[in-house]
Amino acid sequence: MPKIKLTSFGADQEVTGSCHLLEIDNYRLLIDCGLFQGDRENYLKNWETLGFDPKNIDAVILTHAHLDHCGRLPLLFQQGYQGKVYATKATSQIAELILADNQRILTEKASERNLPVLYSKEDVAKINQAWKTIPYHQEEKLTNDISFQFYHAGHILGATIVEIKIQDKIIIFSGDLGGEDMPLVQNVEYPQYADFVIMESTYGNRQHENKASRETKLLKAVQEITLKNSVLIISVFAVERTQDILKVLNDYYETHLDFRVPVYLDSPLATAATKIYREHSELLKPEVQDILKYDPDVFSFPHLNITRTSRESKTINSKASPKIILAGSGMAEGGRLIHHLARYIDQANNHILFMGFQVPGTLGHKLTHGAFDFDYYGKTIKIKAVVDQIDGFSAHADKTQLLKWLKAFKNKPQIYLTHGDQKIMEEFIPVIKAELDLNAQMLKNKESVHFN
Ligand SMILES: [Zn+2]
């Protein structure tokens, strides 16, 4: 049996920067290489050395296209990696979008903070030549002894759980896990055997509201701003959350034909991602595929306006209220959302909705945790609008779902928690022991664990 060693270079006791190196004798397999996000200190970690030499990596597997999983991939190519990046087709397409957008944002931020440019457009372009796309449930051999397979993670389009087989040992990386009631993507799958499981634990201490309640909350906000003749701003992530919300609004508008409040989708990235969702209807839930037979576009409905240029975006200001604006980014870290917040957040009648987890240090986190004012290019704006959060649209499994996923294993794998705050993991580990009699531990940054 080869010697197997796992070392974490990000998202060990935090929720961003996912990067795990699996060494199997001399074969080096990297799972994800994501961006650190959040406060300044965390963000600056992106400029530190990776902690390993990309020239020595044999293969990279990308679990899904969120920035905290793919955002440092270009650094690998910049520093001499010449191998493939294995992912599903949808993940490769979304990651190309996200990385190009992120390269632009990182470059702007680097110049504001007097930092060197982290990576160039050319570094990003190299990934586009390196994809090897693999469908779900198809075994891919890396060497005679090592193979892997993707399972549905129920998280965002194309997202995977990765099962790695090394002779007779099975190691599973959960990637980011979703649940069973996501509006669009197929349900999470439940692998049944593993020797070692590396599992995310973002919501290891929380329960989400259910599907009915998240939709009710969203539509209640829509109705309230209609009555008050005011503005609803929904802070969306370009991938999954936008499409989930478009689908809910689609169902509402198409069954309430006299409802005419305009919706502005003001995020070119979200618009481009929506196109990829349309292309991959085979990855959507069976019930959504049934709807597509009579409503061929569940992301488009009467009174939806797509704004592409920043000139078009500015014209939203002059449109009469009530109106609904969907803008990115999800944690209010940039993008057109900031301008809309500046315009509308000081009026008590308006409503600002955040969807899901906000990383500490982001503006989204501050606003959902009771900030009193907001700094807009040096100008302080008082927050008077209603600021609310709907967790139910989170693409992450909650505590119950995480336990259910672990419970499906028929043997007793050793569990390693990643992608969670240390405090949450400390609470979650005894729960896993008490409820499932499984041993779990935290991974520590750059400390290796041995699987022999
Ligand atoms: Zn994710």
Strands 27-31 and 20-24: antiparallel
For residues 250 and 392, what is the distance between their CA atoms, to the nearest angstrom? 18
**HEC letters along 393-443:** HCCCCCHHHHHHHHHCCCCCCEEEEECCCHHHHHHHHHHHHHHHCCCEEEC
- What are the residue ranges in the chain where pLDDT is below 70? 329-334
CA of 148 to the centre of ligand 1 (A): 20
CA of 15 to the centre of ligand 1 (A): 10
CA of 169 to the centre of ligand 1 (A): 26
Same domain, 350 and 440: no
Continuous segment of H or E residues that includes residue 121: helix 121-130
CA of 165 to the centre of ligand 1 (A): 23
The residues with which 373 forms a beta bridge, in sequence order, are 382
For 345-395, the pLDDT digits (tens) are 999 999 999 987 777 778 888 889 988 788 888 999 999 999 998 878 888
pLDDT of the residue at 355: 85
CA of 360 to the centre of ligand 1 (A): 16
CA of 289 to the centre of ligand 1 (A): 23
Q: Which domain holds residue 231?
A: 211-393
Same domain, 147 and 128: yes
pLDDT of the residue at 42: 86
Same domain, 375 and 420: no
Q: What is the CATH number of the domain that holds 156?
A: 3.60.15.10
pLDDT of the residue at 331: 53
pLDDT of the residue at 431: 95
Same domain, 133 and 157: yes
Same domain, 174 and 313: no
Same domain, 333 and 378: yes
Domain boundary among 345, 377, 393: 393
From 196, 201, 190, 199, select the one nearest 24 (Cα to Cα). 196
Q: What is the CATH number of the domain that holds 222?
A: 3.40.50.10890
CA of 240 to the centre of ligand 1 (A): 10
Domain boundary among 393, 409, 429: 393
CA of 395 to the centre of ligand 1 (A): 7
Same domain, 186 and 248: no
- Number of compact structural domains in the chain: 2
Same domain, 257 and 183: no
Same domain, 260 and 299: yes
CA of 192 to the centre of ligand 1 (A): 22
Same domain, 386 and 313: yes
Is-above-0.85 flag for pTM? yes
Same domain, 192 and 308: no
Are 412 and 376 in contact by the 8 Å Cβ rule? The answer is no
CA of 403 to the centre of ligand 1 (A): 18
pLDDT of the residue at 391: 79
Same domain, 58 and 180: yes
For residues 238 and 15, what is the distance between their CA atoms, to the nearest angstrom? 19
